[in-house]
Amino acid sequence: MSIALCPGSFDPVTFGHLDIIERSSRQFDDVIVAVIRNPQKAQSLFTLDERQQMLRDVTAHLPNIQIEFFKGLLVDFARDHGANAIVKGLRAVSDFDYELQMAQMNQRLSGIETFFISTSPQHSFLSSSLVREVARFGGDVSSMVPPLVAKRLNERFLEGER
């Protein structure tokens, strides 16, 4: 049985993430979306539970997806869950250096293989951080994230103004 991980921060999930998750779900028996608990990044906009709920909602149409949290090394999480693949989306050449380095490190640590999927061109400029920034200043993110995520972003930034 093939089990793949789609790891990330998902703060919040974008159409770019969803594209990779959907395409992975067609290639593997099961896909675990692995949401990191302790990102090396500034404070998150959404809590882990909020990110998990949004991911659940936007992947509800896919039968073979689980949403889980992890902390520590991704390869330890992969081993504990019997995963034999990591799937990453590559948006542009600028993603490649770091992704290659992580893939090689994960391969050295555990033997797990990383598979790269080329991001669909209409999503190649998307990142959660840019989406947060656009939404923070009132920009229209409706073509970048699913409707329920756009709603949560608007609510979050309106809350901040009160």
Contact stretch for ligand PNS (CB under 6 A) within 2-10, 112-120, 137-145, 152-160? 2-10
Query: Of residues 48, 105, 117, 130, which one binds ligand PNS by CB under 6 A?
Result: 105
- We find the least distance from the C-beta atom of residue 17 to ligand PNS, in angstroms, to be 8
Give the sign of the dihedral formed by CA 122, CA 124, CA 125, CA 131: positive
The string over 68-95, giving b where at least 16 C-beta atoms fall within 10 Å of a residue's C-beta and e elsewhere, is eebeeebbebbeebebbbbbbbbbeeeb
Measured distance CA(161)–CA(128) in Å, rounded: 21
Number of shown-chain residues binding ligand PNS (CB under 6 A): 10
* Residues 86/106, Cβ–Cβ less than 8 Å: yes
Contact stretch for ligand PNS (CB under 6 A) within 54-62, 100-108, 116-124, 149-157? 100-108
Which 7-66 residues touch ligand PNS, going by CB under 6 A?
7-9, 36, 39
Q: What is the CA radius of gyration of the chain?
A: 16
114 lines the binding site for ligand PNS (CB under 6 A): no
Per CB under 6 A, residues contacting ligand PNS are 7-9, 36, 39, 73-74, 102, 105-106
